[in-house]
Copies of this chain bind each other. A is one copy, B any other.
Amino acid sequence: MASIAELGERGALERFLPHLTQSENVLVGPGDDAAVLRSGGELVVTTDTMFEGADFRHDWSTFADLGTKAVTTNLTDIAAMGATPTGLVIALGVPGRIDVRNLEEFAKAADRTLQKLAPGAGVVGGDLSTSERTVISVTAFGDMRGRSPVLRSGARADDRIVVAGELGMSGAGLALLSAGEHPVDELRRRHPQRIEAHVAPLAPVHLGSALADAGATSMLDVSDGLVLDAGRIARASGVELRFDRAALEAFDADLEHVLYGGEDHALLATLPQEATLPDGVLVIGEVRESEAGVTLDGEPVQERGWDPFRR
């Protein structure tokens, strides 16, 4: 094995960069002061950082898992605007003592995820530093391609509420890991879908632009929990988001995890009744004109969810 400290920044990057597929939009790639990316007239930008401890644990997540999760969580934010992802930059802080193969696994998984969820996009730049605890900061870019950004404020009474992706699986996986009743390896064998949904989620990124084209009036990605995120649309749009309890109970997870689990990275959107829904989205409720916020069959549900400073 060779540690990152032994190889130095340059040596470590030489092991990292070859695993990345060049973005088809890149005019100047990694290695200069900045990258240059072909771009449309409207640039969509999002950034998300994962901290060891607060956001992940190395005994639960491999570096490959982290590569997948860092890419997915950023791409879904781009998708939730109705945009097409074009590229991303990754800033990594890792302990110098770790084996460089961890970096390679991270790069391979990040690239695989990017090729799968947003073919044509690529990693256009990055930054590698030493840090006692691992920190992964990703900034992703997208192009509106002539569409209007889909905000949180456009939901209208009578719209249908739809979801693209899983709900509750990540929360269920986290609950299994947190219970600590079985070794992680065994949990991965026995509950592969739930554990993967939490540590290495994938999401239907391509449905973001498809939902925008279908006429989505509002959209976001479910990261802090369905109720908390739906509450953001309800407040911004001044409407009630009335979920259909039976539709939510049909997901393959406890209702508690569906409502509050968070980190699903599904796309939650509202569309007019007459809109033709893209394949792969599921109707889970209806928008009403009321100040009730988020309800289940009209009954108010408690808004609670994720705040990184309050756990």
Q: Output the least CB separation between A213 and chain B (Å).
A: 17
Contact with B along A21-60 (1 / 0, CB 8 A): 0000001100011111111111111111101011100000
Asked whether A12 lies within 8 Å of B309 as measured between CB atoms, the reply is yes
CA distance A43 to B40 in the complex (A): 9
Answer yes or no: A162 CB below 8 A from chain B CBs.
no
Contact with B along A286-311 (1 / 0, CB 8 A): 00000000000000000000011110
Answer yes or no: A139 CB below 8 A from chain B CBs.
yes
Contact A77-B34, Cβ < 8 Å, known A45-B124, A89-B47 = yes
One of B37, B133, B142, B309 near A133 (C-beta < 8 A): B133
Asked whether A43 lies within 8 Å of B33 as measured between CB atoms, the reply is no
Asked whether A80 lies within 8 Å of B34 as measured between CB atoms, the reply is yes
Which residue on chain B has the smallest CB distance to residue A76?
A: B33
Contact with B along A129-146 (1 / 0, CB 8 A): 111110101011110100
Contact A45-B37, Cβ < 8 Å, known A54-B129, A309-B9 = yes
Asked whether A49 lies within 8 Å of B309 as measured between CB atoms, the reply is no
Residues of B close to A76: CB separation below 8 A? 33
Identical copies of this chain, number: 2
Asked whether B36 lies within 8 Å of A125 as measured between CB atoms, the reply is no
CA distance A125 to B48 in the complex (A): 10
CA distance A126 to B151 in the complex (A): 17
Asked whether A33 lies within 8 Å of B139 as measured between CB atoms, the reply is no
CA distance A175 to B13 in the complex (A): 29
User: Size of chain A's interface in residues, with CB distance under 8 A?
Assistant: 70
Asked whether A137 lies within 8 Å of B309 as measured between CB atoms, the reply is no
Residues of B close to A152: CB separation below 8 A? 32-33
Answer yes or no: A128 CB below 8 A from chain B CBs.
yes
Asked whether B47 lies within 8 Å of A129 as measured between CB atoms, the reply is no
CA distance A212 to B127 in the complex (A): 25
Contact A43-B141, Cβ < 8 Å, known A149-B36, A307-B9 = yes
CA distance A130 to B133 in the complex (A): 13
Contact with B along A154-167 (1 / 0, CB 8 A): 00000000000000
CA distance A149 to B34 in the complex (A): 9
A-B pairs with beta carbons under 8 Å apart, 16 shown: A28-B81, A33-B78, A33-B221, A34-B78, A34-B81, A35-B44, A36-B42, A36-B45, A36-B81, A37-B44, A46-B125, A49-B129, A51-B93, A51-B135, A55-B129, A135-B137
Q: Which 3 pairs, one residue from A and one from B, show the smallest C-beta to C-beta distance?
A: A34-B46, A137-B137, A39-B43
Q: Given contact pairs A12-B309, A33-B152, A55-B129, enumerate 4 new A-B contacts (beta carbons under 8 Å).
A: A45-B87, A46-B125, A54-B129, A130-B308
